[in-house]
Amino acid sequence: MATISQNVPVDAAQAELLDKVQPAEHVETPLVGNKRDFRWVTEKICGIVEAPVPTWWWVSFIVALFTASFTGIGLLWLTTTGVGVWGLANPVNWGWAIVNFVFWIGIGHAGTLISAILCLLKQGWRTSINRAAEAMTIFAVVCAGIFPLFHVGRVWFAWWLFPLPNSNAIWPNFRSPLEWDVFAVSTYGTVSALFWYMGMIPDLGTLRDRAATALKRGVDQTLSPLQQKIQIGILNARKYGYGIFAMGWRNAGNHWRNYEMAYLLLAGLSTPLVLSVHTIVSFDFAVSVLPGWHTTIFPPYFVAGAIFSGFGMVLTLMLPLRALYGFHDLITQRHIDNMCKICLGTGSIVGYAYIMEFFIAWYGANPFEEFAFINRAFGQYAWAYWIMFSCNVFVPQLFWFKAVRRNAALVWVMSILVNVGMWFERFVITVTSLANDFLPSSWGYYSPTIVDIFTFFGTFGLFSVLFLLFLKVLPIMPMGEVKAVMPQADAHGLGNDTYAPNKEGGAH
């Protein structure tokens, strides 16, 4: 005889039937794999900052620095010559500068989304990726700010965009979308930087204490006197540098209470910013009367596209780091699955927007609007449109398949294609509507110049330089938050049996 949980005797056939009918218990896979403990997490994350710089880092840094110099050359050329060195001309008086600005602002959305919105929704899987995503946000905003700053022409007068008293009694035009961008992007960048820094305070305190402990322990006596002095100097720099920015953090209970309250408040403040910033950026286009731009779908469409491209960039950055630093137990398959699913969802929203644009153009019976969208798909820029459509609509649909999501190399390639498609989306929106406007007599074809190309591709180098410096100087993950989602943090000791190592040695 067999029994069920209520201790009611049943025969073997009934027990077998109950096993088939009752659903299997759902076991949450752990967010830190292989039963790692708190000490391992601390050593793994702090070790990246404290260990000697690996060879691949130096090679990447030199290549990134060389690439970043292209932006410097392009901007110097533009400043000394004028904006005519860009490919701008009538009717396309907005070119790569605005395209690249919107692209980089979109990249910067995933960091605050992961940190703020997923924090408010209590999504524990965000903990291993939020710090790097926040850094990505800030560096992307820096890259984005370059383009409108130099797009004004006389960059030394860019301060006129701010409502500051001056002797000429000239105030900015608050009806200009460029002015809206100034306030939106500067606010977003400031709050994101504060959010990023606040999350690092406990970890900076840990790095400070480890440096102080290493100084008390003494340096390796087998080193030469010069090497010993250098090592002591580095440890002192870490002790006092991290100590200043740790702001007296001592891991006390009241410190954690105040920290969590402030972090929650900043998360609440940042959440509307995530939605509003790209909405305001979309108004650069939507408030005009130009066919292809004058549409109410732009705000949600731009926000979904920004989250889509932002998560694509997070995957592009984190998957190589997972392999290079051996983060398989911290960035598990569960993290990759969730990010792929968000890309699938937002990519589907973007694809829906593409289709609805054509439907509304037809349904609205506006001949100019109809022509604008037909021209996008079948006109002189059709090649750009179909690259955009393929990368943003077809590629993400592969994330429906678990086999694809579990292939890290394939996911990485797809994440790059996502951002290629999102750049072409901004190009198609900006250029096709301007190149073929109301009057056929003013139509033209836009082509970028070498200065456009230098300036844009150099920003990838600038972004990489900043990100590589972040990897070496600051903790890449929030140690306290990662530990908080581990089974050992459960006061009742539940969950330790849920570990199940996967084929890669990490957790499912």
Which structural domain, as residue segments, surrounds residue 401?
38-481
Does residue 503 sit within a domain?
Answer: no
Q: Which neighbouring-strand residues pair with 3?
A: 9
Does residue 18 sit within a domain?
Answer: no
Query: Average pLDDT of 4-15?
Result: 50
Does residue 28 sit within a domain?
Answer: no
Q: Which neighbouring-strand residues pair with 10?
A: 2
- Provide the domain count of the chain: 1
The pLDDT value recorded for residue 181 is 86
What tokens were used for 221? 């006596």
Q: CA nearest 210: which of 242, 247, 254?
A: 242
pLDDT band at 11 (very low <50, low <70, confident <90, very high): low
Query: CA of 444: how far to CAs of 284, 371, 431, in Å?
Result: 22, 16, 10
Least confident segment among 37-51, 446-460, 482-496: 482-496
pLDDT digit string (tens) for 221-258? 777 888 888 888 988 999 999 999 999 999 898 999 99
The pLDDT value recorded for residue 382 is 92
pLDDT digit string (tens) for 60-86? 999 999 999 999 998 899 888 888 888
pLDDT digit string (tens) for 89-122? 777 778 888 899 999 998 988 788 888 888 888 8
Does residue 6 sit within a domain?
Answer: no
The pLDDT value recorded for residue 503 is 39
Handedness of CA 135, 136, 139, 141 (dihedral sign): negative
The pLDDT value recorded for residue 334 is 92
Whether 444 and 90 have beta carbons less than 8 Å apart is answered as yes
Q: CA nearest 105: which of 132, 145, 68?
A: 145
pLDDT digit string (tens) for 183-218? 888 888 999 999 999 999 999 999 999 999 988 888
Residue 449: pLDDT above 60? yes
What tokens were used for 161? 């965009």
Q: What percent of the chain has pLDDT over 70?
A: 91
Higher pLDDT, 462 or 178: 462
pLDDT band at 442 (very low <50, low <70, confident <90, very high): confident
Does residue 26 sit within a domain?
Answer: no
Query: Average pLDDT of 124-135?
Result: 91
Residue 4: pLDDT above 50? no
The pLDDT value recorded for residue 57 is 95
Whether 476 and 321 have beta carbons less than 8 Å apart is answered as yes
Q: Which neighbouring-strand residues pair with 346?
A: none
Least confident segment among 77-81, 352-356, 482-486, 503-507: 503-507
CA distance 356 to 350: 10
What tokens were used for 193? 């930087």
What tokens were used for 126? 């965000």
Residue 88: pLDDT above 80? no
Higher pLDDT, 506 or 458: 458
pLDDT band at 13 (very low <50, low <70, confident <90, very high): low
3-state secondary structure of 91: coil
Does residue 300 sit within a domain?
Answer: yes
Q: Which amino acid is at 163?
A: P
Greatest alpha-carbon span in the chain: 96
What tokens were used for 249? 């953090």
Does residue 303 sit within a domain?
Answer: yes
**Residue ranges in 250-364 assigned as alpha helix (H):** 253-286, 298-324, 333-363
CA distance 315 to 337: 11
Residue with tokens 């400031």: 190
pLDDT band at 2 (very low <50, low <70, confident <90, very high): very low
Buried/exposed 252-272: b ≥16 CB within 10 Å, e otherwise: eeebeeebeeebeebbeebbe
Residue with tokens 């997070």: 314
CA distance 28 to 494: 12
The pLDDT value recorded for residue 495 is 47
The pLDDT value recorded for residue 500 is 37
pLDDT digit string (tens) for 26-46? 456 778 888 888 999 999 999
The pLDDT value recorded for residue 27 is 55
The pLDDT value recorded for residue 70 is 92
CA distance 402 to 394: 16
pLDDT band at 335 (very low <50, low <70, confident <90, very high): very high
Q: Which helix (H) or strand (E) holds 2?
A: strand 2-3
SS (H, E, C) 175-210: CCHHHHHHHHHHHHHHHHHHHHHHHHHHHHHHHHHH
Total-model pTM: 0.87
Q: Which amino acid is at 473?
A: V
122 φ/ψ sector (left φ>0, alpha ψ -120 to 50, else beta):
left
Does residue 228 sit within a domain?
Answer: yes
- The mean pLDDT of the chain is 85
pLDDT band at 408 (very low <50, low <70, confident <90, very high): very high
Q: What is the CATH number of the domain that holds 360?
A: 1.20.1630.10
List of residues 6+ apart from 432 with CB closer than 8 A: 292, 372, 375, 376, 379, 381, 384, 385
